[in-house]
Structure 1
Amino acid sequence: MYLLCGMGRSKMASGVLPTRHRRDESIKRQKSKSDRDILLQMGFSKQRAEKAIAATGDSGVQLASDWLLSHVNDPHLDQNNAREYILYLCPQGALQKEVTEFAEKSLSTCGWNGSHAYFPHITLCPFFTVEDAKVHEVTRAVLKMETKLRQAPGKMKLDFFSQINFIGLFVQEDFYRYLSDITNQVGEELKKSGIKFEPHKKQLHMTLAYQYMAEQHEKLLGMAKDIHLDAEVRWDFRLYSRDISKAQCEVRKVLKAYTPQLGDELELIEGDFVYVEPSEIQESKDGWYSGISWLTGNSGYFPGTYTQRTADTRTWTLHRSLPMEAKVEIPRRDMNSQLPPPFIPTPIEHPPSSVVQGATSNHSNGFDLEDDTYDNLWHDSKGYTQVKKKPTLSEPRKLYIVRHGERVDFAMGKEWFDMCYDDDGNYKRNNLNLLRELPTRKTHLEYIKDPPLTVVGHYQAKLTGENLLESGSTMFCIYCSPSLRCVQTATEILKVYNLQWKLRIEPGLYEWTGYQAGVPRWMSPTELLNHGYPVDTTYAPQYPRDKLQEDEPVEVLYARSTETTKQILKNHELEGGNLLFVGHAGTLELCTRLLVGKGARNINDYKKILPKVPYCCVCAIEEDPARKKWAMIEPPSLPLTHGRNYSQRIIPLLQ
């Protein structure tokens, strides 16, 4: 028996499976269902399911169902409009940044020209139309090029070329043949599925500027000379699509939210885009335009001043992106050279007529090229200067809430202030758990009601941030109470995550004024920034300080905290991503309880929970993207427990 068991263990250790004798033919392996089949089972029609899959880049059921739910009131939802597709080669890295900076500068200096309607790219083919039912065939055709794209013939070189009304960079002959071959192979694959595809007949190039007034040529040419053509770059082979019914429209980004006052008006959601017919812009006499929301498909009139013109490509869908693994070297050439390349392009490449009509009118509207340019709800092409991929709404959003670290007056007692400050306001550290220096304030007396963290408090915050990061918890933006101890806690966490966003100071996250007996004077965002805290001084609070009530009732406290939380979550709804609030002991309760469907506690019950919340305690809630409901989840961080350390000196105990 011992021998048999030993042999069994030996076989298991060697990875040899035991012989199987039993067999049940009634058990059949189910074939995995397609995204369309799953959407059909969810109750969506075939046409809507296929339309959603195509509109979201063939990127899964979750994204497609989100799109359908957001377009539930779209009057065009059941129209059978095919989409237009195109292949681009897009630069990523330092060269992309150089070209983007040129675009920003040329816009502010010379106004809108045709190149501002697109992000930096090399066009590999004309637009081709594909029925929504065949989106998988297009995806597969592009993915088959992955191996070929890893076989680039060395480094791609571009030649500078300019003529009146055009400035660009042209692909040299060796890479022209290589890229044309890849594009033609995609075309051959598409033709097998009955998709009409025409190869690109123009010389491949990246446009820097075109469709501008002739008198602006020298100025634009001078700015183009500032582009560092030897900058490092990686090229991505990309498949995009656009809604063919909106191809002739001008795209406007919503800068400010607007709630409709009349039945024929369109709700504006900050960060959304609106499609507008060019004639609307030209013929409007009151600055109100009729448009269609990109996010919801709803139509109506909206105030044009709440929007600004932006790139058409911001509403395109990225289906696939494959890297071309070759470094690029772009030699400098005489910027004034007028020798043409093998093929001189016509000034108009493939922009919609809205660009053609608007190009010569010198629109003064801003054109924004921020990092969030292409990281929209169903569009993830990493924008112009994007460094990190932002999360999308395909992943459930989470809100993490952290209490601040150990505060000095609770650790040392309220007498800490008298021991550390003399009558002239000079600070002297008298305990190792006190910071060596404290920020200078208008008066040192402000520290009585707005105390800082201890040294241990700073370390607690750092440990918490590290543990959140190690757990895989991503953060998109951090909001914190104006209290200095909260700002210091949030700063330590921000350092760990190394976020590009700065801290946003939100008075709506401040603790109960009835508990604190009034509202203290906090350091302003500018003061905090001047003392080295990474604070966003441009942020406009959702709940300004002047709205805080002295001795507010608990019901008002819950309402204020919930209102602040809901508004912040709404503001980030388009780009998605997890948020972090840094507040007080009550913040973990106040910002979540009503949001998860529970009622506010009475004053006695609320007071009971405050002493039970330890320093740097973390709670988390998660959103159900389909139902837009939030629920409490297990926090990702470990608890932080430490013992009490008495402050008495040892000498008196030994005497």
Structure 2
Amino acid sequence: MFVVKPPAVINNDKYYHKKNRVVKIYEQQKSPYRTNHNYDLRLIILRHGERIDQSLGSDWYDKVFGDIPSAPPLAFKHPILPHRLPYRSNTLLYVFDPPITRTGEQKAIYKGQQLAQVGATVNYCYSSPASRSILTANAILKGMNRSHIPIRPEPYLFEPLNWNSPLLLLKSINPFMSTGDWKQADYNIDQHYSRLNNYLNSHETEMDYYNRSRQFFDSIERHHGKILSPAYHGLLPRQRTTVLIVGHAASTEMFSTIALQKPFEVKKFGDQCAKVPYLHTVVLERDAITRIWYLRPVMYFI
């Protein structure tokens, strides 16, 4: 039985007290913010929900499934597991691809409800192929009442591989479930989506991660962002597209860096990712005329 030690970083929310007010450090406002509505493309980017291995510890598999490589279907009814966790013949692969907890799933549903309450909607959804991300995406869409939107698993959304050394032990074995496996478990997965690449370089650096994230970001603009003609200057765009992207702690930081054209500094990037809490949300909007990206506070959707 393999036991994989989880990352040493604890991604919990951090707080400080000032003048009798409790302020969440990570949710403090960043700039630049944009509050007008002249956008044509909106990205809602989230980190996945609570990981089961960081909740129960490195021996979570033994606690949930027992010391066997193929747990029976009844084991998937464990109360800490998400509802309808897909059955895998080789259950041990969940050690390398840990799901979220049921609490994480419930909080993701609530996050989706919060987004819907402030006027957010979704036209397309992309997710990292990791089970924790797809399960989170499914829960968020459910909370937004957008479960009919299919999820598009994209390998380029997975976190930097050099941050995930246990995966290197698998070599040529793919730890992630196939589209067919998710469909069989009754998850709404887009079977017609053509992934950017099915291969991730096991020796990639953070800069390699930046480059593949850049490719994905460019593909989103290319497929979902239409350029308005000069005749529309000063007018609201006729068509707006909102894309939900569910990935990892690195996703919220990386796509903000790319969209806002900030310099990419490896050490700073790692330090920032270590502070990102579960379900942290970043909203990016592209101006319909200038095609410049801005951050938008979630509370200013309407």
For Structure 1 versus Structure 2, the TM-score category normalised by the shorter chain is 0.7 to 0.9
1:471 equivalent in alignment to 2:118: yes
Shift of 1:594: 1.9
Deviations along 1:588-641, whole A, 9 cap, x unmatched?
011220221111122x22221222111111011111111111122223499xxx
1:516 equivalent in alignment to 2:128: no
Deviations along 1:554-611, whole A, 9 cap, x unmatched?
1111111121012122201245411110000110011220221111122x22221222
Q: Distance in 1 between matches of 2:190 and 2:159?
A: 21
Distance verdict in 2 for CA 1:633–1:536, change over 3 Å: same
Structure 2 match to 1:559: 211
Q: Distance in 2 between matches of 1:439 and 1:431?
A: 13
Q: Structure 2 matches for 1:18-37, cutoff 5 A?
A: none
Q: Structure 2 matches for 1:156-195, cutoff 5 A?
A: none
Q: Distance in 1 between matches of 2:83 and 2:39?
A: 43
Q: Among 520, 531, 542, which residue is 2:185 paired with?
A: 531
Q: Distance in 2 between matches of 1:463 and 1:438?
A: 19
Q: Is the 8 A contact 1:480 1:505 kept in 2?
A: yes
Structure 2 match to 1:57: none
Shift of 1:524: 0.8
Shift of 1:467: 0.2
Structure 2 match to 1:504: 152
Structure 2 match to 1:130: none
Alpha-carbon RMSD: 2.3
Shift of 1:425: 2.0
The residue identity in structure 1 corresponding to 2:181 is: E
Shift of 1:538: 0.8
Q: Distance in 1 between matches of 2:221 and 2:141?
A: 19
The residue identity in structure 2 corresponding to 1:426 is: A
Shift of 1:523: 0.4
Distance verdict in 2 for CA 1:572–1:442, change over 3 Å: same
Shift of 1:437: 6.0
Distance verdict in 2 for CA 1:431–1:530, change over 3 Å: closer
Q: Is the 8 A contact 1:562 1:595 kept in 2?
A: no
Shift of 1:424: 5.2
TM-score (norm. length: structure 2): 0.74
The secondary structure found in structure 1 opposite 2:214 is: helix
Q: Is the 8 A contact 2:127 2:157 kept in 1?
A: yes
- Unmatched segments (≥5 aa) in structure 1: 1-392, 639-655
Structure 1 match to 2:288: 625
Shift of 1:436: 6.5
Structure 2 match to 1:610: 273
Q: Among 386, 399, 419, which residue is 2:63 paired with?
A: 419
1:596 equivalent in alignment to 2:244: no
Distance verdict in 2 for CA 1:540–1:570, change over 3 Å: same
Q: Is the 8 A contact 1:464 1:637 kept in 2?
A: no
Q: Is the 8 A contact 1:404 1:489 kept in 2?
A: yes
The residue identity in structure 2 corresponding to 1:625 is: A
The residue identity in structure 2 corresponding to 1:545 is: N
Q: Distance in 2 between matches of 1:622 and 1:424?
A: 45
Distance verdict in 2 for CA 1:432–1:442, change over 3 Å: closer
The secondary structure found in structure 1 opposite 2:62 is: helix
1:439 equivalent in alignment to 2:113: no
The residue identity in structure 2 corresponding to 1:608 is: D
Percent identity of paired positions between Structure 1 and Structure 2: 28
The secondary structure found in structure 2 opposite 1:439 is: coil
Q: Is the 8 A contact 1:467 1:637 kept in 2?
A: no
Deviations along 1:505-557, whole A, 9 cap, x unmatched?
1111111101012465210111101101110011001x2121x1113111111
The secondary structure found in structure 1 opposite 2:244 is: strand
Deviations along 1:366-409, whole A, 9 cap, x unmatched?
xxxxxxxxxxxxxxxxxxxxxxxxxxx96432111011111100
Q: Is the 8 A contact 1:515 1:551 kept in 2?
A: no
* Count of residue pairs brought into register by the alignment: 243
Q: Is the 8 A contact 1:435 1:454 kept in 2?
A: yes
Q: Distance in 2 between matches of 1:451 and 1:557?
A: 21
The residue identity in structure 1 corresponding to 2:285 is: E
Q: Is the 8 A contact 2:50 2:104 kept in 1?
A: yes
- Unmatched segments (≥5 aa) in structure 2: 1-36, 169-173, 227-238
Deviations along 1:12-38, whole A, 9 cap, x unmatched?
xxxxxxxxxxxxxxxxxxxxxxxxxxx
The residue identity in structure 2 corresponding to 1:536 is: D
Shift of 1:481: 0.5
Q: Distance in 2 between matches of 1:430 and 1:474?
A: 32
Structure 1 match to 2:251: 587
The residue identity in structure 1 corresponding to 2:125 is: I
Q: Structure 2 matches for 1:84-99, cutoff 5 A?
A: none
Q: Is the 8 A contact 1:450 1:484 kept in 2?
A: yes
